[in-house]
């Protein structure tokens, strides 16, 4: 332990200095506030006590409640009323609020990919001023904090990482019979998949539908399917638009991603075309899946022996990459990324902003992301990666995988009109998956439809946003 010798003179000088600082306007409580949390409390106190209201889905809210109660005790700022709306329905409701410029909600908890759309509709309050007052920083892993920014402003505080990681059944991968079978068939060693092709080969070889064991647990339904397509597309070196905002999906990289997407039919459950998380997560935890890319929170469920039949049976790692572009690129994805955004029209926006910052501090969010029952909020902060409570909830290998995937995490289309871009792509991919549309037409059709969206929203406007979108894209091909 380090021992400090402080003279009486130094002590008095320091005390006088701090007292003076205490009376300087704007710095009053901060002079004594050392940690990020203390600085947030000090800034919040200056904003005044209030009960804020918001729109948030209860599975996200429940583990936040003790943390909110503490903030209320410290600052008088708490939550008065909330509207319990699913994260999937929140965008529509939020946009209705934006259109009517309603002050009803002080904050909304929503997929951060909606930031461009909601900011364009004039609904969002930039948080930079509040963050400056509390000297607050989003201490996220790698460049993940960029997901909260749009056109140079910060609009959200993350509560949920939701990054995709690779899941592979360890027991199946280490089984000597499987190893032999795989080596005989493919002439190579059975090991953790590094490319999309590896992953498919493993799934195809190890699946056994007669035992209700299917190769893949990745989603292919209309709503979620694009999330998987983006991972492959980005890893093949593709990007959604050129500098003039012409869609560039219908390219060799795009077609490669479509092929990978559709070949899944051979290894996925026959009903995968309509399955979302309510169907797939139980199947993963019950051991009916060989491998998949999935949201990181599922690791928490897998490793909870009270809820899972596969505890200790998984390997976690980096999502597969692709050599398609000539170099190996890995791209994970975070969507929906739940974040707290503040309503510009709210009379209590300062209080709501500070509450969001309080919930978004690395330290305060540890109990939120490690809740063993309400597992919706997933690890995202640097502090989470070393916190025993979080490691205990996810397992050490899963945390390592989360950290690795964050380094190459990308968004879907991070532009105004996100939902429309997303649904159009999802519709066409889904039509191809169920045989309503030839695979070769998927991207041609999507490009045409995206072009119409760009024209309607405004090419010039979207061109201005492109920099924000590119800023969110990862800078490295694979984790350092």
The beta-carbon contacts of 438-445 under 8 Å, at least 24 apart in sequence, are: 439/258, 439/259, 439/262, 440/255, 442/258, 443/249, 443/250, 443/251, 443/254, 443/255, 443/258, 444/250
First-to-last alpha carbon distance for the chain, in angstroms, is 34
Q: How far is the CB of 95 from another protein (least distance, A)?
A: 6
Please pick, from the candidates 151, 328, 461, 478, the single residue that binds another protein as defined by CB under 8 A: 461
46 binds another protein (CB under 8 A): no
Pairing outcome for strands 329-330 and 314-317: unpaired
Closest CA to 199 of 265, 267, 259, 252: 267
Please choose, out of 33-41, 269-277, 313-321, 467-475, the segment that lies near another protein by the rule CB under 8 A.
Answer: 269-277
Cα angle 157-163-165, degrees, rounded to a multiple of 5 = 160
419 binds another protein (CB under 8 A): yes
Please pick, from the candidates 361, 364, 410, 416, the single residue that binds another protein as defined by CB under 8 A: 416
Please choose, out of 62-70, 202-210, 313-321, 419-427, the segment that lies near another protein by the rule CB under 8 A.
Answer: 419-427
DSSP state of 63: G
Pairing outcome for strands 289-295 and 164-169: antiparallel
213 binds another protein (CB under 8 A): no
Give 403 or 420: the residue with its C-beta nearer to another protein: 420
Closest CA to 472 of 244, 129, 154, 245: 154
Please choose, out of 30-38, 145-153, 251-259, 265-273, the segment that lies near another protein by the rule CB under 8 A.
Answer: 265-273
Give 62 or 273: the residue with its C-beta nearer to another protein: 273
417 binds another protein (CB under 8 A): yes
Pairing outcome for strands 50-55 and 107-111: parallel
273 binds another protein (CB under 8 A): yes
Please choose, out of 264-272, 315-323, 347-355, 365-373, the segment that lies near another protein by the rule CB under 8 A.
Answer: 264-272
The answer to whether the Cα torsion of 455, 457, 460, 465 is positive or negative is negative
Q: How far is the CB of 217 from another protein (least distance, A)?
A: 15
Number of residues binding to another protein, judged by CB under 8 A: 37
Please pick, from the candidates 58, 92, 102, 386, the single residue that binds another protein as defined by CB under 8 A: 92
CA distance 456 to 387: 47
Please pick, from the candidates 242, 271, 448, 464, the single residue that binds another protein as defined by CB under 8 A: 271
275 binds another protein (CB under 8 A): yes
> 332 is written with which tokens?
């994970």
Please choose, out of 8-16, 312-320, 405-413, 423-431, the segment that lies near another protein by the rule CB under 8 A.
Answer: 423-431
Please choose, out of 198-206, 352-360, 399-407, 425-433, the segment that lies near another protein by the rule CB under 8 A.
Answer: 425-433
Give 132 or 456: the residue with its C-beta nearer to another protein: 456
221 binds another protein (CB under 8 A): yes
β-pair partners for 333 = 410
- Please report, for residues 201, 244, 411, the alpha-carbon distance to residue 252 in angstroms, rounded to integers and kept in the order given: 22, 19, 21
Q: How far is the CB of 118 from another protein (least distance, A)?
A: 9
Please choose, out of 8-16, 134-142, 267-275, 316-324, the segment that lies near another protein by the rule CB under 8 A.
Answer: 267-275
Contacts (CB under 8 A) with another protein, residues 97-136: 98-99, 117, 120-121
Closest CA to 361 of 143, 157, 183: 157
Q: How far is the CB of 163 from another protein (least distance, A)?
A: 25
Place of tokens 């996220």: 140
β-pair partners for 164 = 295
CA distance 224 to 28: 48
Contacts (CB under 8 A) with another protein, residues 307-366: none
468 binds another protein (CB under 8 A): no
β-pair partners for 5 = none
Query: What is the binding site for another protein (CB under 8 A)?
Result: 92, 95-96, 98-99, 117, 120-121, 212, 221-223, 270-275, 279, 416-417, 419-420, 423, 427, 430-431, 433-437, 453, 456-458, 461
């Amino acid at each position: 332990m380090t021992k400090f010798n402080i003279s009486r003179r130094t002590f008095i000088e320091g005390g006088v200095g701090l007292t003076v600082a205490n009376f300087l306007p704007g710095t009053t409580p901060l002079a004594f506030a050392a940690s990020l949390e203390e600085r947030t409390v000090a800034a919040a106190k200056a904003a005044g006590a209030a009960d804020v209201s918001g729109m948030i889905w209860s599975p996200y809210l429940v583990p936040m409640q003790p943390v909110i109660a503490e903030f209320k005790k410290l600052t008088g700022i708490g939550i008065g009323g909330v509207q319990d709306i699913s994260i999937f329905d929140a965008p529509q409701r939020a946009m209705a609020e934006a259109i009517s410029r309603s002050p009803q909600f002080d904050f909304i908890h929503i997929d951060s990919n909606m930031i461009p759309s909601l900011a364009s509709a004039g609904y969002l309050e930039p948080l930079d001023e509040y963050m400056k007052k509390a000297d607050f920083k989003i201490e996220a892993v790698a460049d993940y904090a960029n997901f909260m920014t749009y056109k140079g402003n910060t609009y959200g505080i993350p509560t949920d990482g939701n990054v995709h990681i690779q899941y592979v059944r360890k027991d199946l991968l280490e089984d000597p019979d499987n190893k032999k079978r795989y080596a005989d068939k493919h002439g190579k060693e059975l090991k953790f998949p590094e490319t999309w092709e590896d992953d498919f080969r493993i799934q195809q070889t190890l699946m056994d539908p007669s035992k209700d064991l299917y190769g893949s647990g990745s989603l292919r339904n209309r709503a979620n399917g694009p999330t998987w397509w983006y991972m492959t597309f980005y890893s093949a070196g593709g990007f959604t638009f050129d500098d003039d905002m012409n869609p560039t999906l219908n390219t060799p990289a795009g077609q490669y991603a479509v092929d990978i997407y559709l070949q899944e039919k051979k290894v996925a459950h026959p009903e995968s075309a309509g399955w979302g998380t309510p169907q797939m997560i139980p199947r993963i935890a019950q051991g009916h899946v060989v491998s998949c890319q999935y949201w990181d929170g599922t690791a928490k469920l897998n490793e909870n022996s009270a809820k899972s039949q596969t505890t200790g049976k998984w390997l976690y790692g980096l999502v597969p990459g692709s050599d398609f572009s000539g170099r190996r690129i890995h791209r994970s994805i975070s969507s929906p990324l739940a974040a707290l955004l503040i309503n510009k029209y709210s009379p209590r926006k300062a209080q709501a902003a500070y509450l969001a910052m309080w919930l978004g501090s690395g330290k305060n969010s540890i109990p939120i992301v490690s809740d063993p029952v309400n597992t919706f909020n997933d690890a995202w902060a640097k502090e989470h990666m070393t916190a025993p409570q979080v490691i205990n909830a996810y397992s050490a290998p899963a945390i390592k995988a989360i950290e690795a995937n964050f380094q190459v995490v990308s968004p879907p289309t991070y532009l105004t009109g996100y939902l429309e871009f997303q649904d159009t792509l999802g519709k066409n991919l889904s039509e191809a998956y169920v045989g309503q549309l030839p695979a070769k037409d998927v991207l041609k059709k999507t490009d045409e439809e995206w072009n119409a969206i760009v024209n309607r929203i405004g090419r010039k406007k979207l061109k201005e946003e492109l920099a924000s979108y590119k800023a969110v894209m990862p800078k490295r091909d694979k984790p350092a």
